[in-house]
Amino acid sequence: MEVSQEFFSGVIEAGGIFAPILFILIHLLRPILFLPVILFCIIGGLMFGVIAGSIYSIIGITLSSLVFYFLLKRAPGILNRILQVKDKVIGDNVITSKSQIMLLRLIPFIHFNLLSLCLIELTVNVKDYLKSSFYTSIPFTIVYTSIGQWMLNLSPTHILLFFVGIIPFLYLFRKKQFIIKWNDFFHAKA
């Protein structure tokens, strides 16, 4: 992992004072590039450490959420269609508090912007949304930035074992489908 530490140290030194600014700007481009928020929080931990990486990620996530808010408010037709899809997928009144959103953001399988959309529904104006987005992203950012810093201290063998250990869970949590042939279905009922 010394190679990783040297690489990220080199990136920070090469970027100088602009490395954090560039990192925050990439957070703003992340939704357009369809890149996961978790990835950038982990990279922030790798590049800047837990404290600085968390601060830069929180700033980037908050600004990205603000851009998301204004994009949806500028296009109310798209907002209404997305809300209809959200209601079909997760229900109408499933998420009822900002604390739920804070906890759900810790789960890597739930889409970050979907929870931002739920947060838009729970807030009354842009100031409330921005404050709520800031506070609900703090635990998420600290946890995943810490994972990035933690990964620097692992040997390649430990990282390989970690990822091999995840494979059974990916299999267990996959989408399960059963295919019943037409003839088997109707013969079973007869």
Highest mean pLDDT among 45-49, 85-89, 157-161: 45-49
- What's the pLDDT score for residue 58? 94
Q: Rounded to 5, what percent of the chain is helix, strand, coil?
A: 80, 0, 20
pLDDT confidence bin for 154, thresholds 50/70/90: confident
Arithmetic mean of pLDDT, 55-83: 88
Answer whether residue 59 shows pLDDT above 80.
yes
**What six digits make up the tokens of 12?**
């920070």
Arithmetic mean of pLDDT, 134-155: 85
Between 130 and 190, where is the model more confident?
A: 130
- What's the pLDDT score for residue 12? 62
Spatial CA neighbour of 114 closest among 101, 130, 124: 101
Residue type, 185: F
Arithmetic mean of pLDDT, 176-186: 67
8 A C-beta contact, residue 53 and residue 59:
no
Between 4 and 157, where is the model more confident?
A: 157
Say if residue 57 is exposed, middle or buried (CB neighbours under 10 Å; 0-12, 13-18, 19+). Answer: buried
Report CA-CA distances (Å) from 107 to 33, 76, 101, 114, 153. Answer: 21, 29, 10, 13, 24
8 A C-beta contact, residue 68 and residue 28:
no
